[in-house]
Amino acid sequence: QASQEELKAAYRRLCMLYHPDKHRDPELKSQAERLFNLVHQAYEVLSDPQTRAIYDIYGRRGLEMEGWEVVERKRTPAEIREEFERLQREREERRLQQRTNPKGTISVGIDATDLFDRYDEEYEDVPGSSFPQIEINKMHISQSIEAPLTATDTAILSGNLSTQNGNGGGSINLALRRVTSAKGWGELEFGAGDLQGPLFGLKIFRNLTPRCFVTTNCALQFSSRGIRPGLTTVLARNLDKNTMGYLQWRWGIQSAMNTSIVRDTKTSHFTMALQLGIPHSFMMVSYQHKFQDEDQTRVKGSLKAGFFGTIVEYGAERKISRHSILGATVSVGVPQGVSLKIKLNRASQTYFFPVHLTDQLLPSAVFYATVGPLVIYFAMHRLIIKPYLTAQKERELEKQRESTASNILQKKQEAEAAVRLMQESVRRIIEAEEARMGLIVVNAWYGKFVNDNSRKNEKVKVIDVTVPLQCLVKDSKLILTEASKAGLPGFYDPCVGEEKSLKVLYQFRGVLHQVMSADNEALRIPKQ
């Protein structure tokens, strides 16, 4: 946002500081020439509206790209930005067409009722009956991939396999989706399976108003018993900024009417639903609280009651790595019993493990289903997950340091040369500030500080930036904008990839003050 006047003023100040004719020492003179040329190159870029607009979008890399001659010189910076944002979108669309966007779910049902529902008389003559029998009684696997055909057409191929107690089957589906306009899209679906006959479906989505949309899904299922038609319609409306209301009508297979309200905010998610249908009618209320921490921790609870009985569920989920979220839910119901559901989301893949513990309402089963996962999680987090993430972070930092080592060394040499060239100017600035009882930087450090006792084993990595900061003082003021301070004259990055701060001890009107500023935080001293 700097104006041309501000650019010219900064250019003149740095030219005076780095002009080779101001230095007689041959080594200082050569260093001044190099820094003077860098300042001149920067001013050439920023003083031209076209190159400045390109630099704002793509940085130094953009200036080195070929093909800028296709852009008319008479275009404004805003038009240049729009042009290259359009080119960037087209490039992203081409990359999207090359991706298949795979999504998958693996569910493994575990029967562990033998842990709590044992009947000793049945095991008297069975070898090994002293050990509870835990077995897998059902599995489900589904997978889908997308293939963009054009900018508006997408093909979706999906399939699934399910087994339960030794019996099962599968199906495969192909859907063709076309975006007809900014307000809607349509989708044709074809499917077939070994347990059911061919399936033909049509789905239509349409925005009726900016706050209301409707979805309609028609299906024809062919089987040995004949043709079974089905129709599902959903009408949704924004009730306010964070609340949606839904009305659903389903006819044919498992006919039902459903209405629900969903409120989703930054800290919570609330759902209330009511369904009247065949074979199931129910009422459901659920609430989820979102903690504002880096692990994205969430706790949730729900109550569902209907003709099938009553179910109470509670649980939590937490981010355990960059792409993985682990969750556990305890389900207590009548007549369903007690179950523990463990879910792991890894990028676009979901792994689900429902463990059925007992058919009865046993307090011991509820206790172990609640406490067991917590104990296992905290033990794994301390012994496995945390050490692994720490080691992974160290490897990434080391790799980043190695890749930027030569560049950082060059920046360090440039910064040290700039500090030597600043000495005479800083001496004059200090004399002027002392005369007016103004701003004098006593000491300044930039880098990684360790103040927390829990991080006392970490190494402090800071550099002295007293001279560069004093050189930036003008009229007893020091003003730094919201940007990384590693780019300031006389600065460099002493700890690549790590959190950095600027600590300044300064004197103003004869009184000492101290201030700490984050790397990308704006700074203005003296404080008012």
Quote the tokens at residue 223.
């089987």
The answer, as to whether pTM is greater than 0.75, is no
Dist CA 367 CA 361 (whole Å)? 11
Question: Of 418, 527, 410, nearest to 468 (Cα)?
Answer: 418
Among 227, 253, 279, give the residue marking a domain's end.
253
Residue 64 is assigned to a structural domain of this protein: yes
3-state secondary structure of 257: strand
**Positions in the chain whose pLDDT score sits under 50:** 68-74, 120-121
CB 411 within 8 A of CB 38: no
- Axis-axis angle for helices 26-47, 386-435 (nearest 10): 100
CATH number, domain containing residue 24: 1.10.287.110
pLDDT at 69: 46
| CA angle at 423 for the pair 421 and 425, rounded to the nearest 5° | 90
Can you give the residue range of the structural domain that contains 2?
1-70
Residue 439 dihedral angles phi and psi, to the nearest 5°: -95, 120
Residue 277 is assigned to a structural domain of this protein: no
**What is the rounded (10 degree) CA torsion for 440, 442, 448, 454?**
-120
Dist CA 252 CA 232 (whole Å)? 9
Q: Peptide bond preceding 335: is omega within 30 degrees of 0, i.e. cis?
A: yes
The total number of structural domains in the chain stands at 3
Residue 420 is assigned to a structural domain of this protein: yes
What DSSP string runs through 503-517?
EEEEEETTEEEEEEE
Question: Of 522, 414, 413, 422, nearest to 469 (Cα)?
Answer: 422
Residue 330: how many other CB atoms lie within 10 Å: 23
pLDDT at 289: 95
Among 70, 92, 108, give the residue marking a domain's end.
70
Tabulate helix, strand, coil % of the chain (nearest 5).
30, 40, 25
Dist CA 162 CA 490 (whole Å)? 65
Buried b (16+ CB within 10 A) or exposed e, 63-97: eeeeeeeeeeeeeeeeebeebbeeeeeeeeeeeee
CB 214 within 8 A of CB 236: yes
Among 20, 44, 70, give the residue marking a domain's end.
70
What is the three-state SS of 340-407? EEEEEEECCEEEEEEEEEECCCCHHHHHHHHHHHHHHHHHHHHHHHHHHHHHHHHHHHHHHHHHHHHH
Residue 201 dihedral angles phi and psi, to the nearest 5°: -140, 155
- Alpha-carbon dihedral sign for residues 55, 60, 65, 69: positive
Residue 179 is assigned to a structural domain of this protein: yes
Residue 269 is assigned to a structural domain of this protein: no
Same domain (yes/no): 518, 410:
yes
Same domain (yes/no): 65, 153:
no
Same domain (yes/no): 414, 523:
yes
| CA angle at 509 for the pair 506 and 515, rounded to the nearest 5° | 25
For residue 103, the Cα-to-chain-centroid distance in whole angstroms is 18
pLDDT at 151: 82
Residue 361 is assigned to a structural domain of this protein: no
Same domain (yes/no): 247, 160:
yes
CB 104 within 8 A of CB 346: no
Dist CA 500 CA 519 (whole Å)? 5
pLDDT at 397: 77
pLDDT at 424: 85
Residue 387 is assigned to a structural domain of this protein: no
Same domain (yes/no): 410, 515:
yes
